[in-house]
């Protein structure tokens, strides 16, 4: 059923990534030009939604931003309205502020909200849909761990950055005959490590889905030291040894998921040097993977996602998420998108191909 869209809200939630502005542009431009609707940009994700911070977007605001990284609206991964952190002299109190989101939605006169984000954003969007908000989700995460879509925008850009880093580490590792460990993002999903490790020619790839054994790694790099004389190890931040635990860098109670992973690269490098006596270095790629301009793939995918989200809103199709299935952009139910994380199957074709060319997964 077609509806009249007079005011459309857009927010970007969770971590930033390349391609967000391409989505914003592909929603705002046709909304302004063809629907004659007002576009409300909610600032800093759901944090701004709770606090009532927004601004109306003009054509000029969304001109020339398709190639710009980050998000012109700002974002936050600490603004879950259902467990909103409030600071006081006595410390941080977690409060349900979802009623404030509903109040602002109604006060701003929104006919639809397009929420761009990862699994956290989609979970919040699903809950708010149950409160009566007209919401459509757009899947964004460099980790590529959202289910019900073949790929999320932002992943290809992160993959390109990580692959280039491995390319550069190859030359210095071979020149100095070193073992170099590169730690990449991905949390509980190893898509970045697997993809960039395979594309960059890493010798060892360690991902959360395949727990590794220390001795297997030691033996592998020692053997390579007698032939190629260097090794590149690409490790996801969520990788862990068999019967071991994830390495937690810190905890932030303001976040829905308070655990921040990181540090496995340092541990892997230290253990290798200690056990094999091979000179070992470590590079933590960190937020470099989330910055800079999006690849052509992510610009196109983001544009298609945004355009489809607006079309779905005009049809009154809410409580859904846009998704890439095969070559087609379609809509799926939000509940299907958040049912489970999209993890690397240990028997996937990419893993099999990597093993075929001699990659060690440490198992």
Rounded-to-integer distance, Cα 257 and Cα 187, Å: 11
What is the pLDDT averaged over residues 91-101? Answer: 92
- Looking at residue 186, its pLDDT comes to 87
Q: What pLDDT does residue 78 have?
A: 84
| Three-state DSSP class for residue 137 | strand
- 321: helix, coil or strand? strand
pLDDT value at position 74? 96
pTM, two decimal places: 0.93
Q: Residue 193: which of 361, 340, 20 has the closest Cα? A: 361
Q: Give 193-240 as a DSSP string.
A: HHHHHHHHT-SEEE-TTS-B-HHHHHHHHHHHHTTT--EEEEEETT--
- Interval 153-192: pLDDT, tens: 999 999 999 999 999 999 999 999 999 999 999 889 999 9
Report H helices in the chain. 20-33, 45-51, 98-107, 119-129, 155-176, 191-200, 214-225, 264-276, 296-314, 334-337, 349-356
Topology adopted by domain 156-290: Rossmann fold (3.40.50)
Which one has a higher pLDDT value, 350 or 92? 350
The residues assigned a catalytic role are 143
**Please, where in the chain does CATH 3.40.50.460 lie?**
156-290
Q: Residue 70 gets which letter from DSSP?
A: S
Give the pLDDT score at 225: 95
Residue 252: pLDDT band by 50, 70, 90 thresholds? low
**pLDDT tens for residues 15-66?**
899 999 999 999 999 999 999 999 999 999 999 999 999 999 999 999 999 9
**Residues 181, 271: Cα–Cα separation, whole Å:** 11
Q: Which of 30-34, 42-46, 75-79, 253-257 has the lowest mean pLDDT?
A: 253-257
The average pLDDT across 286-290 equals 93
For CA atoms 144, 146, 150, 154, give the dihedral sign. negative
Q: Note the pLDDT of residue 187.
A: 86
Where does the pLDDT of residue 90 fall: very low under 50, low under 70, confident under 90, or very high at 90 and above?
A: confident
Is residue 94 within a helix (H) or strand (E), and if so which, with residue range? strand 91-95
**Spatial CB neighbours of 157, under 8 Å, sequence gap ≥ 6:** 17, 18, 19, 142, 292, 293, 294, 295, 298
Type and span of the H or E element at 324 = strand 320-325
The residue-averaged pLDDT of 257-266 equals 82
- Return the pLDDT at 1: 63
Q: What kind of architecture, by CATH, is found in domain 7-153+294-337? A: 3-Layer(aba) Sandwich (3.40)
Ranges for all domains in the chain classified under CATH 3.40.50.450: 7-153+294-337
Query: What would the pLDDT profile of 311-354 be if each residue is shown by its tens digit?
Result: 999 999 999 999 999 999 999 999 999 999 999 999 999 999 99
Q: Are 292 and 156 in contact (CB under 8 A)?
A: no
pLDDT at 84 over 80: yes
Whether the CB-CB separation of 43 and 79 falls below 8 Å is answered with no
């Amino acid at each position: 059923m077609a509806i009249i869209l007079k005011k459309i809200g857009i927010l970007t939630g969770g971590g930033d990534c390349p391609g967000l502005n391409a989505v914003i542009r592909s929603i705002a431009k046709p909304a302004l030009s063809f629907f004659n609707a007002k576009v409300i940009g909610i600032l800093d994700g759901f944090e701004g939604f709770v606090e009532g911070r927004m601004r109306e977007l003009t054509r000029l605001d969304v001109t020339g931003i398709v190639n710009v990284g980050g998000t012109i609206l700002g974002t936050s991964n600490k603004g879950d309205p259902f467990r909103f952190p409030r600071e006081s002299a006595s410390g941080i109190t977690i409060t349900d502020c979802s009623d404030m989101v509903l109040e602002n939605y109604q006060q701003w006169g929104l006919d639809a909200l397009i929420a761009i984000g990862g699994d956290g954003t989609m979970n919040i969007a699903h809950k708010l849909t149950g409160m009566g908000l007209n919401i459509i989700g757009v899947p964004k995460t460099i980790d590529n761990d959202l289910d019900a879509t073949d790929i999320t925008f932002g992943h290809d850009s992160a993959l390109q950055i990580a692959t280039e880093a491995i390319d550069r580490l190859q030359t210095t590792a071979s020149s100095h005959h070193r073992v170099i460990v590169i730690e990449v993002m991905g949390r509980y999903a190893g898509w970045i490590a697997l993809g960039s490790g395979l594309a960059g020619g890493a010798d060892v790839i360690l991902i959360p889905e395949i727990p590794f054994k220390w001795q297997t790694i030691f033996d592998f790099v020692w053997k390579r030291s007698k032939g190629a004389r260097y090794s590149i190890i690409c490790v996801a931040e969520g990788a862990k040894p068999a019967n071991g635990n994830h390495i937690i860098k810190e905890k932030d109670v303001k976040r829905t998921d308070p655990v921040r992973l990181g540090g496995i690269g340092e541990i892997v490098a230290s253990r290798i040097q200690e056990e094999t006596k091979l000179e070992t270095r470590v590079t933590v790629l960190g937020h470099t993977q989330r910055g800079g301009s999006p690849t052509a793939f992510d610009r196109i995918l983001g544009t298609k996602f945004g355009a489809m989200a607006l079309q779905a809103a005009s049809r009154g199709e809410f409580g859904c998420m846009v998704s890439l299935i095969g070559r087609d952009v379609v809509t799926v139910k939000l509940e299907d998108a958040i049912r489970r994380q999209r993890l690397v199957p240990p028997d996937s074709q990419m893993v099999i191909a990597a093993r075929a060319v001699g990659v060690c997964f440490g198992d």
